[in-house]
Amino acid sequence: MGSLETERKVVGWAATDSTGHLAPYTYSLRDTGPEDVFIKVISCGICHTDIHQIKNDLGMSHYPMVPGHEVVGEVVEVGSDVTKFKVGEVVGVGVIVGSCKNCHPCKSELEQYCNKKIWSYNDVYTDGKPTQGGFAESMVVDQKFVVRIPDGMSPEQAAPLLCAGLTVYSPLKHFGLKQSGLRGGILGLGGVGHMGVKIAKAMGHHVTVISSSDKKRVEAMEHLGADEYLVSSDVESMQKAADQLDYIIDTVPVVHPLEPYLSLLKLDGKLILMGVINTPLQFVTPMVMLGRKSITGSFIGSMKETEEMLEFCKEKGLASMIEVIKMDYINTAFERLEKNDVRYRFVVDVAGSKLIP
């Protein structure tokens, strides 16, 4: 990686304990190594996973921690061996910033499944330095884990696509669900879910939004273009909708029953889990056996899929519904996100923020 002899001092907003409260934090950033890209951060989206990490919900957090893994910035400097990027280009960085590059997943261009992958933050590089995320002035990232943002796509709109958009696009592609005419369900209408509706509709699918209440019906139908809206607590409606869906993208990040949603799937239907939940989920086996149904999961997407997804979104004119904030609002934004009080993704205007009040 980069030399440790010429480090840059940068300011980010970090959590220092499991309260998850973020405050300005100055730390060292390694020099730009031969394969590295030095990026000035422009925008960074806020993901629900950030909450899990800053509050140590998964029991693996290390502090101080600068979160943020939906990063868009401008290339300021490139290493001597960098061939993919030039100074001045707008690029993106997602959930991972490194992998072993030698295992089967890495050689299959599925580096997100590498057992030695390096997370954008709350991890360490091969040189032993901690990784820090995008709620900061700048980052240094291996060119392998940087993508070019298509011309005409604004940084604040592109940022959520690097996690929320990719998380939906990857399983639809991998499981052969990109063809038009399919019937899909989107369970949960948050940051990932709203992009699920948009991407699935752009692929030509009949989309049903499944939610715990009726309060998002107008949003789903009139603003996002969903074809149907199903309230999971409405037993009669759920029974009428049985055996109709080819797949369900389950974005719910808290414990919930699986059986009501398995009943909505057709023969060979797939329930694809997206939410990070640290408590076991349960179901009775006949719910799967009697329809040859699958319960599976998917984790973000590969770098190749990230590039494909960005081009797909550009071609189809897809963009996230966002609320742009300044860095000094970030703690309030996290509080609102925990209450699902955002439509549908916060994006921090990092470049336009005063990082030290």
Per-residue pLDDT of the chain (357 residues; tens, 9 = 90+): 444 446 789 999 999 999 999 999 999 998 899 999 999 999 999 998 999 999 999 899 999 999 999 999 999 999 999 999 999 999 999 999 999 999 999 999 999 999 999 999 999 998 888 999 999 999 999 999 999 999 999 999 999 999 999 999 999 999 999 999 999 999 999 899 999 999 999 999 999 999 999 999 999 999 999 999 999 999 999 999 999 999 999 999 889 999 999 999 999 999 999 988 889 999 999 999 999 999 999 999 999 999 999 999 999 999 999 999 999 999 999 999 999 899 899 999 999 999 987
pLDDT confidence of residue 139: 97
pLDDT confidence of residue 276: 85
CATH class of the region 165-297: alpha beta
Dist CA 22 CA 121 (whole Å): 14
CATH class of the region 9-163+321-349: alpha beta
pLDDT confidence of residue 234: 96
CATH 3.40.50.720 positions along the chain are: 165-297
pLDDT confidence of residue 58: 87
pLDDT confidence of residue 208: 98
CATH 3.90.180.10 positions along the chain are: 9-163+321-349
What is the pTM assigned to this prediction?
0.93
